[in-house]
Chain A
Amino acid sequence: MFNIQEAKRNGQTVLKLAGELTIYSASEAKTGLAKYSDKKSPQELDLSGIEEIDTAGVQVLLWAKREAAGRKRPITLVNHSAAVIDALDLLKVTSLFGDPILIVPSGK
């Protein structure tokens, strides 16, 4: 299950994406993110809750990133979950996002 939650951090809107961001939820994600395309536009997308992501999911993130950049209200992707890091790395699109990724040591 995929969901988007809005939070405030230091007066800024942060959207927390959680669950499975896959082809099954890509449309939902797109619609959800499109709601924030106006003045409420968030500054950060928190990806810590993404448990599973596929190419469709990555495409949605890339779309959101580019949309925001086009509106001159850039967003930063933060707190990439392991699943997200893995997918971005495999698709070699990390540099297309340009967001710093905090590599957390994978010890349990």
Chain B
Amino acid sequence: MDLDKAKQTFIIEAQELLGAMEEALLTVEGQADQAEAVNAMFRAVHTIKGSAGLFGLDGIVHFSHTVESVMDRVRSHQLSLSSALVSLVLECHDHLSQMIADLQGGDPEPPASREVGQGLVNRLLPFLEGKGVEAGSAAPVVSRQTSKVPESEQGSWHISARFGADVLRNGMDPLSFIRFLGTLGTIIHMAPFVDGLPGGEAFDPETCYYGFELDLETDADRQTIEDVFEFVREDSRIRIIPPHSKVEEYIQLIRDLPEEERLLGETLVAGGSITAKDLEECLQRQKQESYEGGSVQGRLLGTILIEDQAVPPPVVAAALDKQKKFQERQAHELKVVKVQADKLDKLVDLVGELVIAGATAKVLAGQTRDDRMMESTAIINNLVEAIRDTALGLRMVQIGETFNRFRRIVRDVSKELGKSIDLEIHGAETELDKSIVEKLSDPLMHIVRNSIDHGIEPLEIRKARGKPDAGTLSLNASHESGSILIEVSDDGGGLNRSKILAKAMERGLISAGSAPSDQEVCNLIFEPGFSTADSVSNLSGRGVGMDVVRRNIDELRGNIEIETEEGLGTNIRIRLPLTLAIIDGFRVGVNHASYVVPLDMVIECLDLGPFLESEENHLINLRGEVLPFLRLREVFRINEEPPQRERVVVVQYGETRAGLVVDKLLGEFQAVIKPLGGLFRQIRGIGGSTILGSGEVALILDVPQLVQLATEQKHAPLKRLPALPVIG
């Protein structure tokens, strides 16, 4: 059986469930109605356990079983969800996540993991007290003994069945059981029993009146045979007599020696085949049944040895009908189709091809001067644009999931530091490109940790400042004119201007006596190696500073700014483009080709002539500022004559500026970024490609690389880049 695919499904499913579980765990405290969250936790472990069992993942089954049992007690209000329990279940959640990760890594249940699991199970057990130790004791995967029956039990089994009246109504058909018995062995003798079927109107066609006595020759064991009737035995009278039982002899013995009855009963009970009560019943029944029918009487004696299947009578079950009605859970159901990310990328890619093809068709249609043709290509092109936008939209995901991860961090970190912090999340439904979300996680994490660690003050200070005991950290996301704004704010101590200045001077970042503006001071913390915390805790201060955060944000073509008020709090704002797949570009021409510069890196555009400082050293003089420049036609080895009037695009990356000399300035446009094939990835200076409306390909310039190149060659002869392979 090929279960590999199903196993992948299981892994993904488990990860999702664990995500939901974690969220529930982190939000459950303080909720007035915990039922939904508790249910979510229960269902996560319940489902994982159920599916893991199918794959024979006994370690996961075993562990999740214990967690499930505890959650079930919480669910049924036998156990309250204390903070300590939440923490413990969180640990269990982590362990389960690890187990799933191990499974995914192809090394299910390494020994170390088993130890961790056992440790957690031991800590869970106290929560199960009073319920019996059964819950945590063993892997509950039912393993039927399939051992061969002892020699003495081989032969023919006698089965006596009188089916309950409601058996048919419950969907059980004696026919099916007989068919199934046929798969276990050979039915060597069988007598039906339908004497109870009434005549006339009394006959209820949906009631079962059927029963049988049969002998089955099989080498299946007792359990297997009994299990055939497991779904009906509560309502029916089923007796199973092993081969070679000397039933008649037993009965004869009991009859002859009534004073031994008890002893005999005990013997039989010890043997696991009969209860004392049954023995008494036996004798009653035996009398009764001897009247029931001629042909089977000989067999009837055989029905007397009873394996006690007595269960609470159906009456008890019926009484429970009044049980509370179920609340239909109103879990908000988002209809979601899961798609692999690379399929989406492929789609976006194909849409790019479609844009090219569409543009080509448009040009060709224009040449035909056929109005209808032109009209229909125009319609197609509109549709293509709509498809492009939709396709890019598919990669948009809500930021909520990323935000929710911080619940855990905030909880853990604040506990560790002994601070009490409330996390507020707003705008969780704000969407942005999946690839951005992924890259945003780390910098955001750093900012959040900084806020908790350095921002929010210790309790004493908060008290002294007259602030509420619990600090507030809030994560907000919103759309702001074509970009996404993400804010992390806290009501902590804010940035300490004098401390930052002192540090900056110490590090030589600013000169003594300078008086930078507040904003400039704030920006200092983005300098490499800058940290003002008096003590380096193990949270932040891991050598990764805000400089890395800014670099990450830069890479996403976003920007970051800080607003702070000493003693009142800090607000960090990150602005990001909606998607990495489309940029606002500035198009320039060199010879016959087009290049695109990301617009946000363009400072200004000039004629080269008036600003040329030194042709030899490739320098321009921009109102007193001397900048290096690069000729793109040299970078890309275009050997044709430059036009008379060359232009310069001044670009900036970080603090460095440089000029790029081109032939023509072609204006702004929105560029759909297409990744470069492996062949082009080695080429410096090119970051990607895009398709122009005309269907032509334009290369997107890698400005950081070009700026670096320009700086390096400032005083040296131009280093030649490897030749650009001919495209197309």
Direct contact of A and B (CB under 8 A): yes
> Which residue numbers of A lie inside 8 Å of B, CB to CB?
23, 26-27, 29-30, 54-56, 58-60, 62-63, 66-67, 70, 87, 90-93, 96
A103 → chain B closest CB, angstroms? 19
With A90-B182, A91-B178, A91-B192 already in contact, 9 other A-B pairs whose C-beta atoms are closer than 8 Å: A23-B168, A23-B173, A26-B206, A27-B205, A30-B205, A55-B168, A63-B203, A66-B199, A67-B200
Nearest residue (CB) in A for B189 is: A92
User: Which single member of A27, A30, A56, A93 contacts B194 (CB below 8 Å)?
Assistant: A93
User: Which single member of B169, B199, B206, B210 contacts A91 (CB below 8 Å)?
Assistant: B210
Check if B190 sits within 8 Å of A55, measured CB to CB. no
B294 → chain A closest CB, angstroms? 13
Whether B386 is near chain A, meaning CB under 8 Å from some CB there, is: no
B524 → chain A closest CB, angstroms? 81
Check if B194 sits within 8 Å of A96, measured CB to CB. yes
> Once bound together, how far apart are the Cα atoms of A23 and B192, in whole Å?
19
CB-defined contacts of B208 to chain A, threshold 8 Å: 55-56, 59
Nearest residue (CB) in A for B198 is: A63
User: Which single member of B175, B206, B210 contacts A27 (CB below 8 Å)?
Assistant: B206
CB-defined contacts of A62 to chain B, threshold 8 Å: 194, 197
CB-defined contacts of B194 to chain A, threshold 8 Å: 59, 62, 93, 96
With A23-B169, A27-B205: A55-B200 Cβ-Cβ less than 8 Å:
no
> Once bound together, how far apart are the Cα atoms of A60 and B208, in whole Å?
11
B210 → chain A closest CB, angstroms? 6
Q: Which 5 A-B pairs have the closest CB atoms?
A: A26-B205, A30-B205, A92-B190, A63-B203, A92-B192
> Once bound together, how far apart are the Cα atoms of A16 and B281, in whole Å?
47
B666 → chain A closest CB, angstroms? 74
Nearest residue (CB) in A for B213 is: A92
B190 → chain A closest CB, angstroms? 5
For the complex, would chain A's binding face be called helix, strand, loop or mixed by DSSP majority? Answer: helix
User: Which of B178, B182, B190, B205 has the most A CB atoms < 10 Å from its CB?
Assistant: B205
Nearest residue (CB) in A for B191 is: A92
CB-defined contacts of B526 to chain A, threshold 8 Å: none
Q: List 6 A-B contacts (CB under 8 A).
A: A55-B173, A59-B205, A66-B197, A67-B200, A91-B174, A91-B192
Nearest residue (CB) in A for B212 is: A92
Whether B623 is near chain A, meaning CB under 8 Å from some CB there, is: no
With A59-B210, A90-B178: A29-B192 Cβ-Cβ less than 8 Å:
no
Whether B530 is near chain A, meaning CB under 8 Å from some CB there, is: no
Check if B199 sits within 8 Å of A56, measured CB to CB. no
Check if A63 sits within 8 Å of B199, measured CB to CB. yes
CB-defined contacts of A93 to chain B, threshold 8 Å: 192, 194
A31 → chain B closest CB, angstroms? 9
Check if B205 sits within 8 Å of A54, measured CB to CB. no
> Once bound together, how far apart are the Cα atoms of A91 and B205, in whole Å?
17
Whether B179 is near chain A, meaning CB under 8 Å from some CB there, is: yes
B494 → chain A closest CB, angstroms? 75
> Once bound together, how far apart are the Cα atoms of A28 and B212, in whole Å?
26
Whether B209 is near chain A, meaning CB under 8 Å from some CB there, is: yes
User: Which of A27, A29, A54, A91 has the most B CB atoms < 10 Å from its CB?
Assistant: A91
> Once bound together, how far apart are the Cα atoms of A60 and B192, in whole Å?
16
With A23-B169, A62-B197, A63-B199: A54-B192 Cβ-Cβ less than 8 Å:
no
> Once bound together, how far apart are the Cα atoms of A66 and B203, in whole Å?
11
Check if B192 sits within 8 Å of A55, measured CB to CB. no
> Once bound together, how far apart are the Cα atoms of A30 and B209, in whole Å?
15
Nearest residue (CB) in A for B205 is: A26
> Once bound together, how far apart are the Cα atoms of A91 and B206, in whole Å?
17
User: Which single member of A56, A63, A96 contacts B206 (CB below 8 Å)?
Assistant: A56
Check if A54 sits within 8 Å of B200, measured CB to CB. no
Which residues in window 180-204 of B have CB below 8 A to A? 182, 190-192, 194, 197, 199-200, 203
Nearest residue (CB) in A for B214 is: A92
Check if A30 sits within 8 Å of B169, measured CB to CB. no
> Once bound together, how far apart are the Cα atoms of A37 and B174, in whole Å?
29
With A54-B173, A60-B205, A96-B194: A67-B199 Cβ-Cβ less than 8 Å:
yes
